[in-house]
């Protein structure tokens, strides 16, 4: 009886590990999106166009943003964004200050990741606050659906 219980537990453990591994190896972890405006990630400004966004396999907090033609590339570190509900749509969220856009979040069905604010975004927020005569400028959020 103990042997059967142990065999069942080992089999269940192996199946669970395979299921978890298949989630991480999922080809849907790459997002493809058309971004209709220039935007900044970290210290790099990228032109409008088609991009692939994917999570680094070794450092899961690192996202790689690469143009479809492979000419433009940027990386950014993220932190987990808790959400009380499962996301039904994969999307990118940008912060907009005036005519400057900053990639702020990536949302997938498994949750959200927020990019760390760059020096350029903090500077844009300060400039926006000065123009609006406020102590802190709230960015406008712009969302784009991803595939």
Chain-centroid distance of CA 56 in Å reads 11
Looking at residue 17, its pLDDT comes to 45
Instruction: Give pLDDT < 50 ranges for the chain.
Output: 10, 12-28
Phi and psi at 5, nearest 5°, equal -65, -40
Looking at residue 24, its pLDDT comes to 44
- 108-144 b/e with 16+ CB inside 10 Å = b? beeebbbbeebebbeebbeebeeeeeeeebebeebeb
Gap between the Cα atoms of 91 and 60, Å rounded: 18
Query: What is the largest distance, in Å, between two alpha-carbon atoms of the chain?
Result: 75
Gap between the Cα atoms of 91 and 108, Å rounded: 7
Task: Report the predicted TM-score, pTM, of the whole model to 2 decimal places.
Answer: 0.73
Looking at residue 125, its pLDDT comes to 86
Looking at residue 23, its pLDDT comes to 39
Looking at residue 131, its pLDDT comes to 77
* Structure confidence by residue, pLDDT tens digits, 93-102: 999 998 899 9
Looking at residue 32, its pLDDT comes to 94
Residue 57 tokens read as 């396999």
Q: Are 49 and 125 in contact (CB under 8 A)?
A: no
């Amino acid at each position: 009886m103990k042997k059967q219980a142990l065999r069942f537990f080992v089999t269940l453990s192996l199946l669970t590990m395979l299921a978890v591994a298949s989630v991480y190896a999922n080809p849907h972890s790459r997002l493809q999106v058309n971004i209709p405006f220039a935007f900044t990630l970290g210290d790099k400004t990228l032109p409008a166009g088609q991009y692939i966004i994917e999570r680094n396999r070794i450092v899961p907090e690192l996202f790689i943003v690469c143009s479809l033609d492979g000419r433009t590339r940027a990386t950014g570190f993220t932190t987990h964004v808790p959400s009380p509900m499962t996301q039904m749509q994969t999307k990118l969220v940008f912060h907009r200050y005036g005519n400057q856009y900053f990639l702020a979040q990536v949302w997938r069905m498994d949750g959200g990741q927020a990019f760390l604010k760059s020096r350029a975004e903090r500077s844009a927020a300060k400039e926006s606050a000065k123009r609006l005569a406020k102590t802190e400028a709230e960015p406008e959020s712009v969302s784009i659906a991803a595939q």
